[in-house]
Homo-oligomer: A and B are copies of this chain.
C-alpha cells in the first residue's frame, strides 16, 4: 500500500503544480496582451551618462550607422525631470515621440510641449535640448544624422532654473 500512497501523493503534487503552472501561464498570456496594448514599444535599455544627461535617461540602440543608413537610431526614455544637456547636431536629428509628454527647446525660443505621436525635425547646428516634463516621462525614437564621424556636440547642462521656467 505504501507505493499506492506515494503514487496518490505524487499525483496530488503534480495536480497542484499543474494548476499553479496553468495559472502562471494564464497570467503571462494576460501580461503579453497588456504589453501589446499598453506598454512601451522598446525595452528601456542602458542608463545614459550624467556627463550629457540630467536625471535618469536611458538608451536602447535600435540600429547603428551602416553603408545604407547614414544615421544612428535609438529609443531614449526620459524619466520625469530628466533631460539632455544643451547640444547641437551637425546634420540635424529627427525625434518621434512614442510615449508620454515632454519638451523641446531651441536656445532663445520658448519651449515646445511634445507628446506621443509628434515628430520633431531638428535643424543642423541649432543649440537645443529635449526631455521629460517635471512630472511625466517621455520616450522618443532619435534618428541622428552623421556628418563625417560626428553626430552631436554636447554643451552645458539645462539648469534647474531653466527647467523650472519651462515647467511653470
Contact = CB atoms under 8 A, between A and B. Distances in A.
A104 interface: no
Contacts of A42: 117
A68 B143 CA distance: 11
Interface stretch (A11-19, A33-41, A156-164): A33-41
A36 B68 contact: no
How many of chain A's residues touch chain B, expressed as a range?
20 to 34
Nearest to A37: B38
Interface stretch (A21-29, A48-56, A91-99): A91-99
Given A37-B37, A69-B92, 7 more contacts: A36-B116, A41-B98, A62-B96, A63-B121, A68-B91, A70-B70, A143-B143
A26 to B, nearest CB: 20
Nearest to A43: B117
A42 B7 CA distance: 58
A141 interface: yes
Contacts of A62: 96, 119
20 contacts: A35-B116, A36-B116, A37-B37, A38-B38, A41-B98, A62-B119, A63-B94, A66-B121, A68-B91, A68-B92, A68-B124, A69-B92, A69-B121, A69-B143, A69-B145, A70-B70, A73-B94, A73-B119, A141-B141, A143-B143
